[in-house]
Chain A
């Protein structure tokens, strides 16, 4: 075997087609969110007169809606709203969940009991119902919907984080760190937190897909972004009235949601496999 063949071979073994495809989907969605203007000449919110409810054609690849807005442009502009919402939701859940889990798992005793029983109560309520209750407290809106979805996921993060912290805390290297004079905070920060995070990061990727779905659901129900925002859930909701005559209004935004959610799941799975 020649020297140059070795790295090539290793590279080929490491590449999984499904994973590459998943990253490609997420990358495209991110690019849409950041530079929507680069992918379409149409506006996401202003329709063209005389172009109402056209089926997919060469001008409008994914058709147009009841006031002549290009379907493809709506999806591209909608990526920003859906992805921002999902990032915010995951961010809220991750941050709050990691800290609560770390606190519960490391301090133990009544702090652990208090936090985890509260998390159990949150887990006992279906997450959509919980998001709805929170959004009613917060008020309707795009950011409020994202925060509501995030808060509803805190319990899942907290519970996983706690179990990881409890596992890592029993490790010998943590005891060794205390034995070499580490203070409680220093040991948590240097050893417990980094070694507990791998599984939580994998859950975050999974939760990203779930959050897109949940935000789309809230949008569909009318609790999220107000019209004419091209948020994916809202697109599906608006297209619902025309589902018999203009199938493309619901099908394509739905496909976008499905693809991004599946891609996020696949990536989450890959994170899980990398974890030691």
Chain B
């Protein structure tokens, strides 16, 4: 790094106002970014990384304030500047790539006018603007830019919208780009392409990039330096390779040990023998077809999917969004009535069941949802949530239900003091444990996990995954595990099916598919695993610690 850094934070401290007064959320944070450098702020949710990034661009929420510290942009302290003065540099010298491309574009204005707006605001010659907009859209890799300028956001896919947002961010060739989780809302393969694009643009113009992410794998792949946040403090910062090879702080070590991308999977133990009286195959799906809509608007979401899951094993279904994986599992748990094909659960054809027979059947197969914030009734207490399935199946005594719910809560690692709480008083990881306890309280044979760990921080994710492992061993459960994250899949699954456009394009034992992928779609998914480029330099902390 030579000369003055593009961005330099010096002992920055930020507080939020709450009912009890001001609470410090960022403590004396200092780091700097030079031209052409990528610095990643890594940490779990609530660690202060986003707040720090918001402070840099002067967009703290209304209840936030800077307590002290300097924010120097090319050597000039902008920390105390009023909003009106910051307007002059926002977009021109510092720009932001927001997290969610779905909500960050104005739905009633064309793509072209939104890209043009930033140039108008900063006084670019009006005659040049239309040509520059088209050139920018071409630059960020949008096909047919002449058509795109006239389109509206809803006509574009998530990845294309994120490209538009990047075009807006680089329009005035800023010195610094802040990318706040720019790909978290996107599919892994799209994510990899978007990150490649940011990387190319950075290299071309020597732009400094401040990259905010919860995903250590992504950060490891893309950043020159890592700044690791926890509880509003920097735990460790340094050169990416150094931090990965020899992390100094205990927190960084734990983060590395928990990141699925850096964990070499230990061979999974063979499945226990099938208990007597049960079919050897817990799930058999044969030629499943699912159509939606009628007449000309009919869409075939699932087109002849077949797979078999042995009792006591874990089968993973992977694929991009829109590949039909969620539709498939909804049919398997009996929420969709398939258009064709059959689904045998423990030897019984689910598609033939109706009404009360279907309800009784639900004891055997339970679903855990992706989002523990949406899948728990906000008005019920934890004990009521876990006890409800029992109530549905005739355990009428409240004391019995409470006893069983307490046992199950203990089993999934929930403290008994939490039983009286409502979901909003729990963390994301605790909520997902509640959801798992609710699914297990009926003692089902099969648990279907629909992206059940995707919304969680890596450390919590690792805890839930090892909980699932223990439960499978102790209770002889069969798992059907749906995920877009292949690093997680490799950790937990025995067999795998790769879905693309409603068809199974590859299937087999996990290690075989990972080591010798036969299909281009599988290969692309594997290449897109974040952290995959750096995985070799990282020592195996999981085995070191265990």
Residues of A within 8 A of B (CB): 1, 6, 9-10, 13, 171-173, 175-183, 186, 190-191, 194-195, 276
In contact, B19 and A190 (Cβ under 8 angstroms): no
Chain B 224-283 residues near chain A, CB threshold 8 A = none
Between A9, A175, A194, the greatest number of chain B beta carbons within 10 A of the residue's beta carbon is seen for A175
Give chain A residues whose Cβ lies under 8 Å from the Cβ of B377: 173, 177, 190-191, 195
Chain B 335-380 residues near chain A, CB threshold 8 A = 335, 359-360, 362-363, 366-367, 369, 371, 374-380
Within the complex, the shortest CB–CB distance from A173 to chain B, in Å, comes to 4
Chain B 436-457 residues near chain A, CB threshold 8 A = 438-439, 442
**Known contacts A181-B392, A191-B377, A195-B377: does B367 contact A176 (CB below 8 Å)?**
yes
Interface presence of B20 (CB below 8 A) = yes
Interface presence of B388 (CB below 8 A) = yes
Which of B20, B21, B367, B393 contacts A179, CB < 8 Å? B367
In contact, A180 and B388 (Cβ under 8 angstroms): yes
In contact, B389 and A180 (Cβ under 8 angstroms): yes
**Known contacts A171-B374, A173-B375, A173-B377: does B366 contact A180 (CB below 8 Å)?**
yes
Within the complex, the shortest CB–CB distance from A65 to chain B, in Å, comes to 51
In the complex, A194→B335 CA distance in Å? 24
Q: Can you give 15 contacting A-B residue pairs, CB < 8 Å?
A: A1-B21, A173-B376, A176-B375, A177-B377, A178-B335, A179-B362, A179-B366, A180-B366, A180-B439, A181-B359, A183-B359, A183-B392, A186-B392, A191-B377, A195-B378
Within the complex, the shortest CB–CB distance from A4 to chain B, in Å, comes to 13
Which of A9, A175, A195 contacts B21, CB < 8 Å? A9
Give chain A residues whose Cβ lies under 8 Å from the Cβ of B209: none
Considering only CB atoms, which chain A residue lies closest to B441 in the complex? Answer: A180
Give chain A residues whose Cβ lies under 8 Å from the Cβ of B366: 179-180
In the complex, A194→B381 CA distance in Å? 14
Within the complex, the shortest CB–CB distance from A106 to chain B, in Å, comes to 16
In contact, B393 and A172 (Cβ under 8 angstroms): no
Interface presence of B333 (CB below 8 A) = yes
Considering only CB atoms, which chain B residue lies closest to A11 in the complex? Answer: B19
Within the complex, the shortest CB–CB distance from B114 to chain A, in Å, comes to 30
Within the complex, the shortest CB–CB distance from A172 to chain B, in Å, comes to 4
In the complex, A263→B318 CA distance in Å? 57
Which of A180, A190, A191, A195 contacts B438, CB < 8 Å? A180
**Known contacts A6-B20, A181-B392: does B378 contact A276 (CB below 8 Å)?**
yes
Chain B 407-455 residues near chain A, CB threshold 8 A = 435, 438-439, 442
In the complex, A190→B363 CA distance in Å? 20
In the complex, A171→B379 CA distance in Å? 13
Give chain A residues whose Cβ lies under 8 Å from the Cβ of B371: 172
In the complex, A151→B392 CA distance in Å? 36
Between A180, A182, A190, the greatest number of chain B beta carbons within 10 A of the residue's beta carbon is seen for A180
Chain B 297-337 residues near chain A, CB threshold 8 A = 333, 335
In contact, A181 and B393 (Cβ under 8 angstroms): yes
In contact, B389 and A181 (Cβ under 8 angstroms): yes
In the complex, A219→B366 CA distance in Å? 59
Give chain B residues whose Cβ lies under 8 Å from the Cβ of A194: 379
In contact, B442 and A181 (Cβ under 8 angstroms): yes
Between A172, A182, A195, the greatest number of chain B beta carbons within 10 A of the residue's beta carbon is seen for A172
- Chain A to chain B: the 3 pairs with minimum beta-carbon distance, closest first: A180-B389, A181-B392, A172-B374
Within the complex, the shortest CB–CB distance from A41 to chain B, in Å, comes to 47
Considering only CB atoms, which chain B residue lies closest to A194 in the complex? Answer: B379
In contact, B375 and A172 (Cβ under 8 angstroms): yes
What mask results when residues 380 to 420 of chain B are scored 1 for a CB within 8 Å of chain A, else 0?
10000000110111000000000000000000000000000
In contact, A10 and B369 (Cβ under 8 angstroms): no
Give chain B residues whose Cβ lies under 8 Å from the Cβ of A1: 20-21
Considering only CB atoms, which chain B residue lies closest to A171 in the complex? Answer: B374
Give chain B residues whose Cβ lies under 8 Å from the Cβ of A186: 391-392
In contact, A177 and B367 (Cβ under 8 angstroms): no
Considering only CB atoms, which chain A residue lies closest to B424 in the complex? Answer: A276
Give chain A residues whose Cβ lies under 8 Å from the Cβ of B393: 181
In contact, B359 and A179 (Cβ under 8 angstroms): no
**Known contacts A9-B21, A13-B19, A195-B378: does B335 contact A179 (CB below 8 Å)?**
yes
Give chain B residues whose Cβ lies under 8 Å from the Cβ of A183: 359, 392
Within the complex, the shortest CB–CB distance from A168 to chain B, in Å, comes to 10
Give chain B residues whose Cβ lies under 8 Å from the Cβ of A171: 374
A173-B377, A176-B367 are known contacts; what are 20 more A-B pairs with Cβ within 8 Å?
Answer: A1-B20, A6-B20, A9-B21, A172-B371, A172-B374, A172-B375, A173-B374, A180-B366, A180-B392, A180-B439, A181-B359, A181-B363, A181-B392, A182-B392, A186-B392, A190-B377, A190-B388, A194-B379, A195-B377, A276-B378
